[in-house]
Structure 1
Amino acid sequence: MKILVVSLLRLGDVIQQQPLLKALRNENPQAEIHLLLNRQFSQVENLLGDMVDKYFYFDRESLQKGLGEASYNILWSHHQLESLVEDLNHESYQKVYNFTHNKLSAYLLGAIQSPVKLGLFHGEGRFQGLNNPWLRYFNERFSGTQPSLFHYVELLGNSFGLPVERTANGASGKSKKILFQCLTSNEKKNWPLKRFKELKETIESSLVDYKVQILCAPFEKEALLKQFSDSDLLVCDLDLAQSALRESCLLVTGDTSIKHLAAQSGVPIIELVMGSSDWTKTAAFSKNSEIITAQVACAPCSHTQACSQKSQICAEQISVDQVFAAVWDRLSKKSQQAGVTLRDVERVVWTMQLNEVATTEVIPYANAALRFTEEYSKDSVRRILASCRETQQRNESWLTRLEKAFPTWSSLAGKSQLKSQDIGEFILVAQEIVKSKQDTAGYFQFVVETLMARFSSTLQFHEKMQSALAEVRGLVQARGQFIHSLEIVLKEGVYYAAGIGQLSIDGFEEAGRSVSRDREDAAI
């Protein structure tokens, strides 16, 4: 069997797809796996090893030149693209995966002949392939600044049924060399070089056994020499960077391709998140990574827009002392017990919903609650239950108000055009939800997006909005079911401590006759 993976993304995206390719290889050990990449990222061949058997290249730059420069024949780009499609179809792929999920890749998949296409593709005059909830969530939530509770790799793994896990620590006994990757592809995502220099000096003066080196590409050298000496720099390509990472004990970096390379090598990572970086979506996919970010209202911002502030406050609020403390903790291997947050609860709820677990199925929710209280201490879960209930009440109140304000089908049936006064109260409730900025998990995003869409008739609007409200209702009910399951699990522990758990098999019958407990029977 031959399988094609289409990945027409940036270098960092391709590198972080390694867990997906590894899972695909594990699921299909006898298959021949081919990968279609942008030609400028051909250097990843040396990084992917035996996960990929053959590479094809999409020459985006040449195709764009062929379309825009007078020196090229007007049909040159068409012939180049046609030739690529012919080469791909000659392979007779049984499966094609789209890891890219943009319109270009969708059109390309539409031209490739294969009985099974997974992910977005164009066919029969429309875009297709969003055939499961995980793919729809990925398509709706991942682009732009929409909130996502899941990492890019998690979403694609769940979408394609590929089991992926965050990488753990690499081999022990590494040298006492710390690497910095100071510059990123976007100035908004850069921590000031002066602070990187201060951090280097702090580390080397406080931890005299450790040496810091600065990773950089050749074109970055000139900028880095303004703060560092030539001997501080390790100018390298991806292959040399991978070798250096394997010999290091820690990487401090911004949002770069190097962090994904470090994650696959099991190197501990301290990631500085600023500007348009969204750690939820594209942080290093590693169990041994720490995120340091400023809590500012404007972050993450848009990739394409300039910083909206007078100065880059998201970078200014990350201090040298804060990063050094994280370095110290990592090098000393200080155990870090992750505290449970409301976001962890929302992730479970969305997972249940995207896996299409009905709220009437009690056992899956009970099992999820048990796993949750095993991953996080029961005391920490108890501490956030009040906030969980408060958020649940607010969500239920919003949903009730929306459903009450939503017009009936009969009230819209005779109208040829929908006017704002027809749904005025409904709009006001939706605006209140948006302005509150409290729907951080995106429960009501379906409703907001439907309000902003265009419709050919009032009845089409009614049908689409009913569907959106049904999805919100399912999510809110799932959240209530999970919280209820958590409460039961936590209460059972209290009951056991009070002695109920020590009753014999027919202890409830005995309890009707006597309140005394038989320790001997209980032991049995």
Structure 2
Amino acid sequence: MKILVLSLLRLGDIIQQAPLFKGLREKYPHAEIHLLLNKQFSSVEKILDGVVDKYIYFDRDALQKGLGEANYNILWSYTEVERLIQTLNKENYNAAYNFTHNKLSAYLLGALQIPQKNGLYQEEGRFKGLTNPWLRYFNDRFSGTQKSLFHYVELLGNAFALPTKATTAPHVKSKSKLVLLQCLTSDSKKNWGLEKFAELKRTIEISLVDYEVCVLGASFERETLAAVFSERDLLICDLPEARKHLQNAALLVTGDTSIKHLAAQVGTPIVEIAIGSSDSTKTAAYSAKALILNSDVACAPCSHSQACPQASHLCAEDVSVEKVFGAVWDQLSGEKIAQKNHIRVLERAVWSLYLHNESEPSYREALQNIFEQLSQKEISSCLSAWNEHGTLLLNWFNRAKAALPSREELAGKKNFQSSDIADLILCAQDILKTKRDEAGYFQNFVESLLTRFSHPVQIYDRVSAALTEAEALLNIRSSFTQYLQTSSTEGAYYAKGIGQLPISGFEETGKSVQRNLENAEL
């Protein structure tokens, strides 16, 4: 079997996809796996060793120049793409996986003659491949600042049925007790600040005298780093060298960079400072050993495509050196800060049940997964808030359902005005204002009222489809809640001693009520 994977994203994204490549190798151990990636990221070959058999390069920079610069023939880029497609088709791939999910990768995959296409592709002028609920969720939540309950790797792993798991393997602590700092990112909005990193370095060296602190950097970053750090503090290196340093390190402190994904790959403990456009739920280091520090300012996370709109870098200012050092201390001492959001764990379970799209959701299995993450006490403590929020969600649904005019009513409108759906708009506004639909039960409902339409009937179709999704989710949430409440009640009884009764029976009379083995009488 021969498989092609398309990953036309940035370096950090490709490194982040390592668990997906490993999952693909585990699922098809004897397959020949080829990877199509952008030419400027050829250094990744030394990082994905053992999971990719052949690398094929797409020269995106040259093709873009060919389309925009006068000294190129107008058909040059088209000819180059056509040549690439012919080369790929000669490989006779059995299957392809699109890990990129943008228009470019969709057009390329659509042009290839591959019988089994997984993920987004273009065919006959239309985008296809989003039949899987996990892929639809991925497509809806990763295009902008929409909230997601799941990590990038989790979503594609579930969508493509690939076994993936966050790094949990034990990391051998370095005898040198080396702490590495990765200070710079590809986007200034995500930079915590060199002066703050310098202060953190001094704090670690004063408080933890037996630890050595060094600063990682690429060759093009040397001059910027040298303005704050001494030359002896710098470890200027390429990716393979950085990997060796990370394998020898006790901890990495970093922003949102490709280096954090490399550290996750080798099992190095991480303190990640997620600021600017960095969304830790979507693309944090995929590792159980990562401790994520987020900013609480209202504008974070912001959009990737825009500059910081604030007068000062508020999200960076919100994360103090003391807070980062506290996380460093916890990681080095093994006393990791508890980061569990109990309600969020339950919401993830509900959405997982929905996205698996099974006729009979496996509530018991979902509950077992919950018990692996939360204790009985933690579940009981959050049930009241969980039920209260469920009531709010149900009220929103009933209100929106009642406010939706019938299809026939909208079809008969000759002069449609926004006042005809005023109650629907008010309901959507209230949902947005409360900021309490963090799990996104009504995201599609709100967006259905924001999209343009050519006929009023389209409003009904879009809103009705969004409410059907919300109803299905709320039904699963209700059934799951019953399982939660039952387990909580049983746990409470057990805690009071009922679950600890002796096997021999009730001992109310001073002796156990046991079966007589000779005559079977009690």
**CA contact 1:95–1:115 (8 Å) conserved in 2:** yes
Aligned to 2:166: 166
User: What do the CA deviations read for 1:268-312 (whole angstroms, capped 9, x no partner)?
Assistant: 000011111000000000010001122111000111212122211
Q: 1:354 Cα shift?
A: 0.5
In 2, the alpha carbon distance for the partners of 1:177 and 1:423 equals: 62
The alignment of Structure 1 onto Structure 2 pairs a total of residues equal to 515
Residue correspondence of structure 1 range 12-411 to structure 2 within 5 A: 12-174=12-174, 175-334=176-335, 336-357=337-358, 361=360, 364-411=362-409
User: What do the CA deviations read for 1:28-74 (whole angstroms, capped 9, x no partner)?
Assistant: 11110000000000110011112011111110010011111111111
Q: Which runs of 5+ in 1 are unaligned?
A: none
Q: 1:298 is aligned with what amino acid? A: C
**CA contact 1:170–1:265 (8 Å) conserved in 2:** no
Q: Which of 455, 473, 476 matches 1:478?
A: 476
**CA contact 2:173–2:249 (8 Å) conserved in 1:** no
Aligned to 2:437: 439
Q: 1:451 Cα shift?
A: 1.0
Q: 1:173 Cα shift?
A: 3.8
Aligned to 1:7: 7
In 2, the alpha carbon distance for the partners of 1:185 and 1:353 equals: 36
**CA contact 2:410–2:457 (8 Å) conserved in 1:** yes
374 and 120 in structure 1: CA distance in 2 versus 1, 3 angstrom threshold: closer
Q: 1:495 Cα shift?
A: 2.9
Residue correspondence of structure 1 range 495-510 to structure 2 within 5 A: 495-498=493-496, 501=499
Relative to the length of structure 1, the TM-score reads 0.94
Q: 1:320 Cα shift?
A: 1.2
87 and 516 in structure 1: CA distance in 2 versus 1, 3 angstrom threshold: farther
* Partner SS state of residue 55, structure 2: strand
In 2, the alpha carbon distance for the partners of 1:421 and 1:150 equals: 37
**CA contact 1:215–1:233 (8 Å) conserved in 2:** yes
**CA contact 1:180–1:252 (8 Å) conserved in 2:** yes
* Partner SS state of residue 33, structure 1: strand
Relative to the length of structure 2, the TM-score reads 0.94
Say whether 1:453 aligns with 2:451: yes
**CA contact 1:340–1:380 (8 Å) conserved in 2:** no
148 and 233 in structure 1: CA distance in 2 versus 1, 3 angstrom threshold: same
In 2, the alpha carbon distance for the partners of 1:114 and 1:105 equals: 14
In 2, the alpha carbon distance for the partners of 1:44 and 1:520 equals: 70
**CA contact 1:402–1:429 (8 Å) conserved in 2:** yes
In 2, the alpha carbon distance for the partners of 1:328 and 1:243 equals: 23
**CA contact 2:327–2:336 (8 Å) conserved in 1:** no
* Partner SS state of residue 47, structure 2: helix
User: What do the CA deviations read for 1:441-496 (whole angstroms, capped 9, x no partner)?
Assistant: 11101111111123333223322221111101111222222222111101012234
Which piece of structure 1 moves more, 465-474 or 130-139? 465-474
* Partner SS state of residue 466, structure 2: helix
Say whether 1:494 aligns with 2:495: no
In 1, the alpha carbon distance for the partners of 2:25 and 2:111 equals: 25
In 1, the alpha carbon distance for the partners of 2:403 and 2:510 equals: 56
In 2, the alpha carbon distance for the partners of 1:29 and 1:145 equals: 37
CA RMSD of aligned residues (A): 2.2
Q: Percent identity?
A: 54
In 1, the alpha carbon distance for the partners of 2:83 and 2:47 equals: 27
463 and 250 in structure 1: CA distance in 2 versus 1, 3 angstrom threshold: same
Q: 2:189 is aligned with what amino acid? A: K
In 1, the alpha carbon distance for the partners of 2:383 and 2:347 equals: 13
Q: 1:270 is aligned with what amino acid? A: V
Q: 1:301 is aligned with what amino acid? A: C
Q: 1:140 is aligned with what amino acid? A: D
In 2, the alpha carbon distance for the partners of 1:499 and 1:279 equals: 42
Q: 2:302 is aligned with what amino acid? A: C
**CA contact 1:273–1:292 (8 Å) conserved in 2:** yes
In 2, the alpha carbon distance for the partners of 1:272 and 1:521 equals: 62
Q: 2:148 is aligned with what amino acid? A: S
In 1, the alpha carbon distance for the partners of 2:434 and 2:367 equals: 29
Q: 1:233 Cα shift?
A: 0.6
* Partner SS state of residue 162, structure 1: coil
Q: 1:257 Cα shift?
A: 0.4
Q: 1:124 Cα shift?
A: 2.1
Q: 1:366 Cα shift?
A: 3.4
Which piece of structure 1 moves more, 408-417 or 42-51? 408-417
* Partner SS state of residue 388, structure 1: helix
Q: 2:24 is aligned with what amino acid? A: L
Q: 1:121 is aligned with what amino acid? A: Y
In 2, the alpha carbon distance for the partners of 1:392 and 1:299 equals: 26
Q: Which of 441, 462, 465 matches 1:464?
A: 462
231 and 176 in structure 1: CA distance in 2 versus 1, 3 angstrom threshold: same
Q: 1:26 Cα shift?
A: 0.8
Q: Which runs of 5+ in 2 are unaligned?
A: 518-522
Q: 1:314 is aligned with what amino acid? A: C
213 and 409 in structure 1: CA distance in 2 versus 1, 3 angstrom threshold: same
**CA contact 1:339–1:380 (8 Å) conserved in 2:** no
* Partner SS state of residue 64, structure 2: helix
Q: 2:418 is aligned with what amino acid? A: S
Q: 1:338 Cα shift?
A: 4.8
Q: 2:231 is aligned with what amino acid? A: D
* Partner SS state of residue 29, structure 2: coil
In 2, the alpha carbon distance for the partners of 1:119 and 1:163 equals: 17
